[in-house]
Chain A
Amino acid sequence: MAMLEVRDLHVAFPKGKKTEVEALRGVDLTLEKGERLGVVGESGAGKSMLAFAILNLIAEPGRVSRGSVTFHGENLLDLSERDIRGIRGNRISMIFQDPMVTLNPVLTIGTQMMETLRAHRRISDAEARKLCIEGLKQVAIPSAESRMEAYPHELSGGLRQRVVIAIALLTDPELIIADEPTTALDVTIQAEIMALILKLCRENDVALILITHDLGVVAEVTEKLMIMYAGKCVETGPTRQIIDAPTHPYTSGLLKALPQNAGRGTRLYQIPGSMPPITALPTGCAYHPRCERATERCKAEIPQLDGRVACFHPLNTAEEVQ
């Protein structure tokens, strides 16, 4: 069995008194030990919602309305709050966009790291301290011993995110979920942090779900890729394959719209319009109003994911190439 299996996951939010809107409309994913998956989508596509739903962290008034999240054969959505705490932050760690979500501004780095460690392990103070310093060294924080006494605000954004990564790795997790971990950082710092995450995942055989809007970052870091649009996965498969030969018109459009794929001074390929809000989805395929390949069928029927792509008229398939 796969390490993590998400089946037909739906997340709904109430709209008005009786009706609900769905922020996730049936997402499936499978992740093996040590596998790195990229989840890419624009804002509002539901990619962060997916991360929260996996950890059973959907805040009121939202709720998981259907589906299952199985981690080593156990459905996380059925676990009690106490049982899930043994998994969340322990066997599954999280890294958020803003390090200050994870770090408490009034406690030193050392206190926070030791607290995390001792919440999940029965070890002595001295031992915990040793492990924390090792953890900081692992993420290449200079003078790790003295940084244990530092407060979060005394560190730069890049160093803070390194501390968050160190905390995420302290409990030897099997899976790290990283939600836009470098969006707030500069490009050179982003490169450092992503290279670090990649190295640590490889060395410790940790699986990664990397949520981002940046196709370049997933191309660098992940092996598998999932493209999300309006609460659904529209295309999934090996990262290289999708980037070299996208089959969903949306994926293809996103790639073509990147400036690095266009000649200097030429116009960029542009997808018309913008993603509909979840409260006003069109009928049929949610992408059809923006799609140049859309037909009458796309307006009436919702295409289902056939293993690779959810589209009635995919590109770059065997027939298409012939």
Chain B
Amino acid sequence: MISLKGFIKRFLSDPVAIGAGIVLLVLVLMALFAPLIAPQNPYDLMQLDIMDSELPPSWQPGGDERFWLGTDAQGRGVLSTIMYGTGISLLIGIGAVVVQGVLGVSLGLIAGYKGGWVDSFLMRLADIQLSLSTLMMAIIALALFQAAFDANVYADYAIIMLILVIGIAEWPKFARTVRSSVLGEKKKEYVDAARVIGLPARKIMWGHILPNTLTPVLVISTLQVAEAIMIEASLSFLGLGMPVDRPSLGSLIRSGFEFIFSGSWWITFYPAIVLVALILALNLLGDWLRDVLNPKLRRGDD
């Protein structure tokens, strides 16, 4: 077990962790305070002017002072849309991981602790789900949803749908990790001690075993946020994600893609940079967390 003090010390002694942490912090703050710091509100149709469309970044010939990173085809400032879009991407990423986590941790805990046919059933279900690609399942689900409802309804519920679809599709990763930790923990004598006093299975699972399996959950959560953001970006890129008027980073990249060859590279380029930075920071932090929290890799200080 690592103390909070030791944890902070480890963090401050690792330049990669600090770098990734700073990038993530900046992006999260930018997304959180987008309504306050963004030069324009890209959702406000009244602020848009078709005359501003496809302006290059401000330092380039033809650039406009108001739009530092240029504008897209609808005349929205790329900087502002990135700020809002990062928020939507993060919201979907975190939301999907919460869904995955709740589903995966509960099912993994039950499978590991109960064993027997419950375990076999849940794990075979997980196998089946993992053998179908997440992207494929999401495409089918979202395509059906898009076909069944009209565009306005779809736009209203797109975030919730994406969170649910990505969340449900990826629960087996959590379930498997938690199950294998539970199998290790439930053999330990503190679980027997709890059973000796007649504690019901529910209390042993949630009160005793779960807190001791959360370390790997924390690690994969970080990595899964990155994964979920990637999936959402891919779906948006395919036109199945966020609608154009509430763009995520993925839909921004898509919306600019058709203008790349006409020279307006900035519409795609800047959101793509932010997306890569976000994913990289999350993955680096996740790897770092795994190294720090895995006692097998850790030597010496405690």
Residue positions of A touching B, CB distance < 8 A: 13-16, 61
By a CB distance below 8 angstroms, the chain B residues around A13 are: 300
Output the least CB separation between B299 and chain A (Å): 7
Residue B44 at the A interface, CB < 8 A?
Answer: no
A16 to B301, CA, bound (A): 8
Inter-chain contact A61/B301, CB cutoff 8 Å: no
By a CB distance below 8 angstroms, the chain B residues around A15 are: 300
Output the least CB separation between A23 and chain B (Å): 13
By a CB distance below 8 angstroms, the chain B residues around A16 are: 301
Closest to B301 in A: A16
By a CB distance below 8 angstroms, the chain B residues around A61 are: 299-300
Residue positions of B touching A, CB distance < 8 A: 299-301
Output the least CB separation between A12 and chain B (Å): 13
By a CB distance below 8 angstroms, the chain A residues around B299 are: 61
Q: Is the interface of A mostly helix, strand, loop or mixed?
A: strand
Q: List 6 A-B contacts (CB under 8 A).
A: A13-B300, A14-B300, A15-B300, A16-B301, A61-B299, A61-B300
A110 to B299, CA, bound (A): 36
Which 6 pairs of residues, A with B, have the shortest CB-CB distance?
A61-B300, A61-B299, A16-B301, A14-B300, A15-B300, A13-B300
By a CB distance below 8 angstroms, the chain A residues around B301 are: 16
By a CB distance below 8 angstroms, the chain B residues around A14 are: 300
Output the least CB separation between A63 and chain B (Å): 14
A61 to B300, CA, bound (A): 9
Closest to A16 in B: B301
Output the least CB separation between B300 and chain A (Å): 7
By a CB distance below 8 angstroms, the chain A residues around B300 are: 13-15, 61
Output the least CB separation between B157 and chain A (Å): 55
A14 to B299, CA, bound (A): 11
Closest to A14 in B: B300
Closest to A17 in B: B13
A14 to B300, CA, bound (A): 9
Output the least CB separation between A11 and chain B (Å): 15
A135 to B233, CA, bound (A): 66
A98 to B220, CA, bound (A): 34
A61 to B299, CA, bound (A): 9
A15 to B302, CA, bound (A): 11
Closest to A13 in B: B300
A15 to B299, CA, bound (A): 11
Output the least CB separation between B257 and chain A (Å): 51
A13 to B300, CA, bound (A): 9
A61 to B301, CA, bound (A): 12
Output the least CB separation between A59 and chain B (Å): 10
A16 to B13, CA, bound (A): 12
Output the least CB separation between A62 and chain B (Å): 10
Closest to B13 in A: A17
A210 to B301, CA, bound (A): 31
A62 to B300, CA, bound (A): 11
Output the least CB separation between A134 and chain B (Å): 41
A175 to B130, CA, bound (A): 56
Output the least CB separation between B298 and chain A (Å): 13
Output the least CB separation between A98 and chain B (Å): 17
Output the least CB separation between A280 and chain B (Å): 13
Closest to B299 in A: A61
Output the least CB separation between B8 and chain A (Å): 16
Output the least CB separation between B302 and chain A (Å): 10
A16 to B299, CA, bound (A): 11
A11 to B271, CA, bound (A): 56
A264 to B300, CA, bound (A): 44
Output the least CB separation between A53 and chain B (Å): 19
Output the least CB separation between A155 and chain B (Å): 25
Output the least CB separation between A288 and chain B (Å): 27
A13 to B301, CA, bound (A): 12
Output the least CB separation between A18 and chain B (Å): 14
Output the least CB separation between A13 and chain B (Å): 8
A253 to B299, CA, bound (A): 34
Output the least CB separation between A278 and chain B (Å): 13
Output the least CB separation between A61 and chain B (Å): 7
